[in-house]
């Protein structure tokens, strides 16, 4: 999936409930602001569909032209971020905007204005050079859209100074209204509950089943980008040992199990499908013995289908996007491992 396609997934998954701090409302009522956000959401949807189906109209070489995509999004973010909202219009001084665009690596910004005009934006005050312009940005069909757009840029700017543009723009590109909840804004925390809510279909069912089981026994930490890709890790509260982790995105849900006691219940695997057996025998680090770490307690051994294996106790077995039936078998292994850990 291209970045535009991934963003489209999140825009299509918006909640009807939105909490906006009064400082971002610019004198609008909550209902009016929500209406403007809905319009903005629809405009971004149209843009991402256009970038996917007709990327050349957005000055992109192809739908997966990451550089062209980022130029377009950085342009809009910096345009709004460096402007002031005055009576339904965003006013931007070109002398302020030009260096901000340069820092965000937006090349040939004069040409990018044309990309947004078919979406309903109107720009006046443009000169041949950005530096000489006093720019006014309007959205004649619904001026409330500009309020929502300005609020998003203002909120994100409060925690973006130390973050790369490609990370911060994740919140802007998906119109993540979690940034509008508090003032001053803080970068939203990606929790396991949030991740599960964004997964679809079988991925959601599989991950949710593992999470519901392990949550009482383990502490969860999440790394990865704000959206699209996550690596939640579960560490047992009793032993301070990682027992489960995931590698998740919008298309895959890899499950990683740390099964240091596998040799004591390897009989459970006898009836497993060939795919799972292969992942068990091929994955997991091979034990290197004392050559690896003389302080290590040593690997763990087991025999499967007549062949002996010795795996590193610090490694994990990776299962690539197991279906619901496969995940039930793997959950059985996790339950057995947990019994032997306690």
The tens digit of pLDDT for each residue in 48-92 reads: 999 999 999 999 999 899 999 999 999 999 999 999 999 999 999
Q: Are 301 and 176 found together in one domain?
A: no
Beta-carbon contacts of residue 71 (< 8 Å; ≥ 6 apart): 59, 105, 106, 107, 112
What domain range includes position 286?
192-341
Per the model's pLDDT, the better-predicted residue between 110 and 292 turns out to be 110
**pLDDT at 219 exceeding the cut of 80:** yes
Q: Are 94 and 47 found together in one domain?
A: yes
**Locus of tokens 């040939």:** 108
Q: Are 19 and 164 found together in one domain?
A: yes
Q: Are 140 and 279 found together in one domain?
A: no
Last residue within a domain, chosen from 180, 209, 235: 180
pTM of the model: 0.85
**pLDDT at 286 exceeding the cut of 90:** no
C-alpha closest to that of 266 among 336, 166, 184, 190 = 336
Q: Are 110 and 207 found together in one domain?
A: no
Q: Are 173 and 241 found together in one domain?
A: no
Domain count, the chain: 2
Q: Are 157 and 303 found together in one domain?
A: no
Q: Are 203 and 176 found together in one domain?
A: no
Percentage of residues in the chain with pLDDT exceeding 70? Answer: 93
**pLDDT at 173 exceeding the cut of 70:** yes
Q: Are 170 and 207 found together in one domain?
A: no
Q: How far apart are CA 210 and CA 50, in angstroms?
A: 38
pLDDT at 21: 96
Beta-carbon contacts of residue 146 (< 8 Å; ≥ 6 apart): 36, 85, 88, 89, 90, 137, 138, 139
User: Which tokens hold the place of 184?
Assistant: 């001053």
Q: Is residue 187 part of a domain?
A: no
């Amino acid at each position: 999936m291209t970045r535009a396609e991934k963003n489209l997934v999140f825009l299509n998954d918006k909640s009807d409930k939105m909490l906006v701090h009064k400082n971002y409302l610019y004198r609008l009522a909550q209902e009016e602001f929500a209406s403007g956000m809905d319009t903005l959401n629809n405009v971004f949807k149209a843009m991402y569909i256009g970038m996917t189906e007709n990327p050349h109209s957005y000055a992109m070489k192809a739908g997966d032209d990451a550089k062209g995509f980022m130029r377009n999004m950085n342009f809009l973010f910096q345009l709004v971020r460096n402007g002031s909202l005055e009576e339904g219009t965003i006013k931007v001084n070109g002398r302020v905007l030009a260096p901000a665009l340069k820092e965000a690596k937006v090349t040939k910004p004069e040409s990018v204005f044309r990309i947004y005009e078919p979406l309903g934006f109107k720009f006046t005050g443009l000169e041949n050079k950005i530096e000489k312009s006093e720019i006014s940005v309007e959205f004649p069909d619904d001026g409330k859209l500009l309020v929502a757009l300005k609020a998003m840029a203002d909120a994100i700017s409060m925690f973006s100074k130390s973050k790369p543009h490609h990370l911060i723009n994740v919140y802007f590109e998906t119109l993540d209204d979690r940034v509008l909840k508090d003032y001053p804004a803080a970068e939203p925390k990606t929790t396991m509950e949030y991740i599960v809510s964004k997964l679809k279909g079988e991925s959601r069912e599989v991950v949710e089943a593992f999470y519901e089981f392990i949550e009482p026994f383990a502490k969860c930490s999440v790394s990865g980008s704000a959206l699209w890709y996550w690596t939640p890790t579960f560490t047992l509260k009793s032993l301070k040992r990682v027992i489960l982790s995931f590698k998740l995105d919008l298309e895959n849900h890899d499950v990683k199990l740390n099964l240091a006691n596998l040799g004591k219940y390897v009989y459970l695997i006898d009836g497993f499908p060939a795919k799972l057996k292969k992942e068990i025998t091929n994955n997991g680090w091979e034990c290197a013995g004392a050559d690896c770490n003389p302080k290590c307690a040593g690997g763990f051994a087991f025999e499967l289908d007549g062949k002996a294996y010795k795996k590193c106790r610090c490694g994990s077995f990776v299962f690539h996007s197991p279906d619901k039936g496969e995940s039930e078998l793997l959950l059985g292994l996790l339950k057995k491992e947990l019994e032997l850990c306690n």
